[in-house]
C-alpha cells in the first residue's frame, strides 16, 4: 500500500488517514477514562490537532487518487481494476 511507494505525498496522506485517526480514537478513549483531570483536559487539544491532520488527509485524498495511473491503482493503495 502506501509504505511501498516512493511518493512522499502518498505516504503522508496514508499516514494522516490511518495513523492520525487511530491517535484521535486513543486520545478520546484515554480522556473518557478520566484517569487524571489535567491529562483529561489536555487530551482535548491533542485530539483536536490530530483531527485536523485527518481532515487534511481526507481533503487531499481525491487529488492523490486523481493523479494515480489508471492501469496501476495498487501503486496508490487502490484495488485491482475489474
pLDDT of residue 31: 92
pTM of the model: 0.60
Query: Taking residues 43-52, what's their average pLDDT?
Result: 88
Segment of 4-8, 9-13, 69-73 carrying the highest mean pLDDT: 9-13
Using the CB atoms, write b or e for 26-60: b if 16+ within 10 Å: ebbebbeeeeeeeeeeebeebbeebbebbeebeee
pLDDT for residue 61 is more than 50 = yes
Grid cell at residue 61: 485524498
Whole-number Å distance between alpha carbons of 21 and 18: 6
Amino acid at each position: 500500500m502506501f509504505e511501498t511507494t516512493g511518493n512522499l505525498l502518498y505516504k503522508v496522506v496514508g499516514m494522516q488517514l490511518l495513523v492520525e485517526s487511530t491517535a484521535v480514537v486513543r486520545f478520546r478513549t484515554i480522556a473518557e477514562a478520566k484517569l487524571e483531570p489535567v491529562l483529561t483536559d489536555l487530551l482535548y487539544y491533542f485530539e483536536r490537532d490530530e483531527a485536523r491532520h485527518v481532515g487534511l488527509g481526507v481533503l487531499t485524498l481525491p487529488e492523490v487518487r486523481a493523479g494515480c495511473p489508471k492501469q496501476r491503482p495498487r501503486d496508490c493503495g487502490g484495488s485491482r481494476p475489474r
